[in-house]
Amino acid sequence: MAGELVLLTGGTGFLGHTILVDLLKHGYRVLVAARSHGKVTKVRAAPSIVALDPPATQLMFVLVPDMAAPDAYDEAVQDVDFIIHAAAPLPADYASAAGGSDLRQDRSLEDAFVTACVQGNMGILKSARDKGKTVRRIVMTSSTVAIAPADFFSDAAAASQREKGGKEVVVRGPETRVAVPEPPYKSQLHAYCAAKTASLKAAETFMKDQAPPFDLISIMPSLIFGKDELATGTDSTRMLMYRLLPQKASNDAGDASAGSSLEQEEIAAVGNAVLCTDVARAHVRALDPDIKGSQSFVLNIDARWEDTVPIAKAHITQAFGSGLFHPASPKWTTVPLKWDTTKVRDVLGIELATYDVMVKEVVGEYLEMMRTEGT
């Protein structure tokens, strides 16, 4: 309810910042956990925050330099009504293990992803139990990768063929659970899936065994697309642009691979996506007292990666007429993975945006960044 205090972790990142804006618009007071003064300054300078101009009593910050450290949130959880834990203590740039033969690399992947993610979730739960005497609910950001077999994401084509061998299409929902993938991990993505599965299991086990005075809601989005207000330039959308909407040409020799991506071998990937503002709205809506605790919500719409170029061409023609993007589609194959998202509409009252909306929003922001950079 408006006026209540929410501790927000991850508020200086892509999704977390969008959650912050939604919280402020709905009248909540927000305490943002940030790792540094520099990140605080960046958030305060963001256009949405400047436009909202929240008073110092509505938007506050607390420094948490190491979110995985023991007792990291002991001070931050005091006197708050709710916690939204959107932070994920994952490595910003980590060289993935090429295979499973190097024990040192395998152990590093486990520590950097699985151990760190579990410690982050458990740390805030324990702080809320021991120091957060007024906390009534914690809303945690999980992921659809936490509740589907990891090989759907690390080896999508093979997993899809195996599942097609069944008689019926498998539809997974918010109550689906899977075993935590065991090391060795083949890649960063494989380790990330394991981290999300392990942290979800750890959080739910904690709630069952400890029976704290607060409840837990898990928000499980698929691949999140949308505007990134904190992005510093077009580099932030480089992977999306080059893989789904490859550039036709580049004057930068270092970016020569961008125009050649159409000649790469075919890529198979799960066709799941969701708009960032929808995910943020779900987190904030989950704070309402009319939403029962101890439940999960899956946020996803079915997307066909092969449709990305046709969507962009239909709505943002100038990007193709100018030669910025190649008019032909890359060699993407969409692997279907079906989810039951009816609770999002029926319980949270959110109609999820289509993939068309996501493409238009992200490409539109990319073009605006290019104009700002003068390229």
Q: How far apart are CA 225 and CA 180, in angstroms?
A: 26
| Amino acid occupying residue 114 | V
Q: How far apart are CA 323 and CA 154, in angstroms?
A: 33
* H helix runs in 222-275, sequence order: 238-244, 256-260
pLDDT tens for 128-179 read: 999 999 999 999 999 999 999 998 887 776 766 666 655 566 899 999 999 9
Domain segments of the chain as ranges: 5-224+273-300+337-354
CATH topology of domain 5-224+273-300+337-354: Rossmann fold (3.40.50)
CB 146, CB 204: distance < 8 Å: no
Task: Please state which of the ranges 30-44, 209-223, 242-256 shows the lowest mean pLDDT.
Answer: 242-256
Predicted confidence at residue 322, as pLDDT, reads 75
pLDDT tens for 190-233 read: 999 999 999 999 999 999 999 999 999 999 999 999 999 998 77
User: Which range has highest mean pLDDT (99-113, 134-148, 361-375)?
Assistant: 134-148
Q: Considering the entire predicted model, what is its pTM?
A: 0.91
Q: How far apart are CA 46 and CA 274, in angstroms?
A: 23
Q: How far apart are CA 375 and CA 372, in angstroms?
A: 8
**268 phi and psi angles, rounded to 5 deg:** -105, 130
Task: Please state which of the ranges 11-25, 60-74, 224-238 shows the lowest mean pLDDT.
Answer: 224-238
pLDDT tens for 327-353 read: 777 778 888 899 999 999 999 999 999
Interstrand relation of 272-275 and 301-302 (parallel, antiparallel or unpaired): antiparallel
